[in-house]
Each structure stands twice: as structure tokens, then as C-alpha cells.
Amino acid sequence: MRTRLLLLPAVVSVLVAAGCSASEPSTPAPTTYELPPRTVRPDETALKLPPAKNGDTEFTLLGLAAGLPSITGSHTEFPAKGQFVRLRLVVTSTGTSSVLFDTKRQLLVDDKGTAHPPEEQAMIIKRQPAQFDLGHGVRVEFDLYWDIPKDVKPVALRAFGGPSITDMKNLTGTDIKLG
């Protein structure tokens, strides 16, 4: 009888544990954010590229529009000297501190190997950021604009994430192929 009384708590514990786990199935927590899909702009091609890093900044290229003859802002239409190229992208800080992100350093490389800086007037007309503080874990989505010759094609973004603890000058960019 004494042996049965000693086993009773163990049997009750097993039954209770089995009853608890069988009563309600657990749902695992999601491991990614569920972002709603968005329609690609009419003049744009969606890019399906893996994210790329430069320093503590991750670049995700979303959409590309090339051969744009002009751009229109709230109060003006601005013609291209050659062709406008627009790149939609997301930058995300993956470092432990913030980084000063400079959109003017992002270069578009064409099929002849020439690197083009963003077209400052187009960026102003389209009210895109010039420089901003990219804090830890912060994501920013925006457009970059370049005015390149009509006879070339964009092939890569030379991305500069900004200074980091391991690369204070951030002199070397990361080339991200556009397709």
C-alpha cells in the first residue's frame, strides 16, 4: 500500500501534463513581419533580389524604372538631359548604433562602367531625402534618381551604407547588380 501512495503523485503529474498539452494546440509566434503587397508603379519593374550589405547597412532593391524622359513634381516638370533612372529601395541599419546615411553617395553604374551620382535637382523635385540618421533596426524606403546618357543601361547600384565602427571612412561601396 505504501508503494502505491508513493507512485500516486507521479501518476497524477503525468496525467495532468498530458491533459494540459492535449487540450489546446499552441501556435508558434511568427518569425517574419507580414507586410501587405503593393502594386508596382506603371513605369517600374519589380526587382526580386536578395538583400545586400555595406557595413552596418542592408540594402533591399524593390523597383527599377529606366528611360524616363522627364519627372514631374508638385509645381514643375523637369526634362532629363539623357534619361532618368529611378530606383526604389529600402535601407536598414543592422549595426548597434546609428549611421548617417547619405543618398548623394549612392552611385548608379552603367553598362560602360561609368558610375553616376544621383541627380540632385530630381531628388529635390521628388522630395526625396538627402541625408538622414539611420538608427539601430530602422528601415527607410525611398527613391533615388539619376540622369544618365540615353545610350547606356543601368547595371548596378554602388551602395555606401555609411561609416561603421570597423570602417570609419566607408570608402568602399558594395556593387548590387540590378538583374
- Can you list the domains of the chain with their CATH numbers? 45-177 (2.60.40.1240)
Question: pTM to 2 decimals?
Answer: 0.80
Three-class secondary structure of residue 62 per DSSP: strand
**Which residue, among 87, 102, 77, 95, has the nearest Cα to 160 in the 3D structure?**
102
Position 40 pLDDT exceeds 70? yes
108-125 pLDDT, tens per residue? Answer: 999 999 999 999 999 999
Q: Give the CB-side neighbour count of residue 149, counting CA atoms within 13 A.
A: 9
81-113 pLDDT, tens per residue? Answer: 999 999 999 999 998 888 899 999 999 999 999
Alpha-carbon distance of 7 to 5, in angstroms, equals 5
